[in-house]
Structure 1
């Protein structure tokens, strides 16, 4: 194996991929398909303001991110590239599952649209939030500052930075508890994520998981046709039930980019292509070179890098 595709997670409010959309008939056709599957217009998916309601906003934002990542995959396929191994974080893991053939594209987007019907928290609920924690490399073995803090949970591990000076973690929890943690930490050690009001990948997301469980249980999954890596533990998902379990657990369990890239390294990946803008460029220490694909010129860069490295690519495009 040689070529790996990585799909980031997260739901941003800013539109991306507009240049790709305007220059690619293939991408415009895909967005029309997604429009038919979700009831959103192509413009809503691409760049309109997200809805104000919490779960509806999360749903439309997820559809936006998944559509862009899928479009990048398809543009690379149009240019002749196929992944030998594939994986993603959170929403990216679900998108990767579809592209690995584990579920139909329409079923993925129908699920993301259904998620918008989840109940929003009432006024009696404690406000939630997210933060990034930057742990010095030399303190990697020490107890993290959030350990044992009530209302704060480890939600993700993005691994060390390129220079090895820090390791980046994602925290989720009660907004007030995160604020207290930020105030007690050295300046810049823990940074709140503005506008993030959902404590994703933590037990606080339990009500959402409960709402989605029957729907996911009814979905049709298949064994992946391409090696598909999990972001919840370091393993290759081989069966339909492996994938279904990941979908069920994704909202309440911490994710790990390290699981993904170490798993890809173990699969022999020599080049990673990062779909879309959700994994920051130039910050994290991957064990192989990566090319971030977000603009039209990046498609050509990805293809030329594959050939410059002398890689072979023989993966199978998902459904």
Structure 2
């Protein structure tokens, strides 16, 4: 009867976690540590406007999302709640790796900070973008994935919606190609994201992956000390090399939330706690109950749900 901690990915534009930061000293201490590791101020990490330059914006945004997720984890641990299984999507998979003891927190934040120096695409390169497709069960999935269409890449599988009527997939690629596809499918079923200018989890991120490769090769990884699930294929990340491979491939390879939560189900998870605000509440269907945690009142909700479900909590001593 395991408790799973689930970490989302991506860089959102909305600010989350301010109330938790005010309420819990352990979270304020964590943000002070992260400020020392990254050279950012606590305000930049927590709530100030993100930078304009795409790679720097992405870097600070990932630091912000990871800080919140780790802060939520530390608050829950303070209430005696420790994960039996860890998993995450994209950035969340790297965050989960730190909590599984496969990489240190300091090294993770140093890597995210270093990513700000990744070169921007050359002048004149096609504008990049992201889109979400809401695909009905009887729809032509190949069409929505842009299969055979230059400039469009299926980059993420978020699984079925809460009502089971549709599945949500993420598309990355050239902005013009995404807009062209959106004009061809059923109106309203494909939504370009106007504020996303980096084609994550697609071949267009190969220059970023190549830039980061020497840095990742220089990082210290260890075998996870807790069950840690991959978002790049179904299964556990069992060795240090597995985790390093995830860090390398994350930028260019498609990700699957379905693989993460299906793996958690196989590991016996009966309750999933979603760390931070990167996975919207109430939109997706999970194979077990979930509680989204990014506000102080959610902590009591978690404690109540754990009690009601009779979840067996693992002993103290999970890696920090």
Same topology, TM > 0.5: yes
Match status 1:137 vs 2:137: yes
SS at match of 1:235: coil
Please provide the CA RMSD for this pair. 1.0
Give the alignment of 1:171-186 within 5 angstroms.
171-186=171-186
Following superposition, the deviation at residue 214 of structure 1 comes to 0.5
Kept in 2, the 8 Å contact 1:137–1:160? The answer is no
CA–CA distance in 1 between the matches of 2:132 and 2:221? 33
SS at match of 1:253: coil
Range moving further from structure 2, 114-123 or 246-255: 114-123
- Stretches (4+) displaced over 2 A: 142-145, 315-319
Where does residue 243 of structure 2 map in the other structure? 243
Question: TM-score normalized by structure 2?
Answer: 0.97
Following superposition, the deviation at residue 156 of structure 1 comes to 0.1
CA–CA distance in 2 between the matches of 1:273 and 1:14? 20
State the aligned residue count. 318
CA–CA distance in 1 between the matches of 2:68 and 2:36? 16
Give the alignment of 1:96-111 within 5 angstroms.
96-111=96-111
Where does residue 119 of structure 2 map in the other structure? 119
Where does residue 262 of structure 2 map in the other structure? 262
Where does residue 155 of structure 2 map in the other structure? 155
User: In the TM superposition, what whole-angstrom CA distance separates every residue of 1:188-240 from its partner, at most 9, and x where no partner exists?
Assistant: 11100121000000000000000000000010000001100000000101100
CA–CA distance in 2 between the matches of 1:281 and 1:138? 26
Kept in 2, the 8 Å contact 1:83–1:314? The answer is yes
Question: TM-score normalized by structure 1?
Answer: 0.98
Match status 1:301 vs 2:301: yes
CA–CA distance in 2 between the matches of 1:152 and 1:106? 35
Kept in 2, the 8 Å contact 1:77–1:317? The answer is no
Structure 2: which 5+ residue stretches go unaligned? none
SS at match of 1:237: coil
Where does residue 220 of structure 1 map in the other structure? 220
SS at match of 2:142: coil
Match status 1:53 vs 2:53: yes
Following superposition, the deviation at residue 299 of structure 1 comes to 1.0
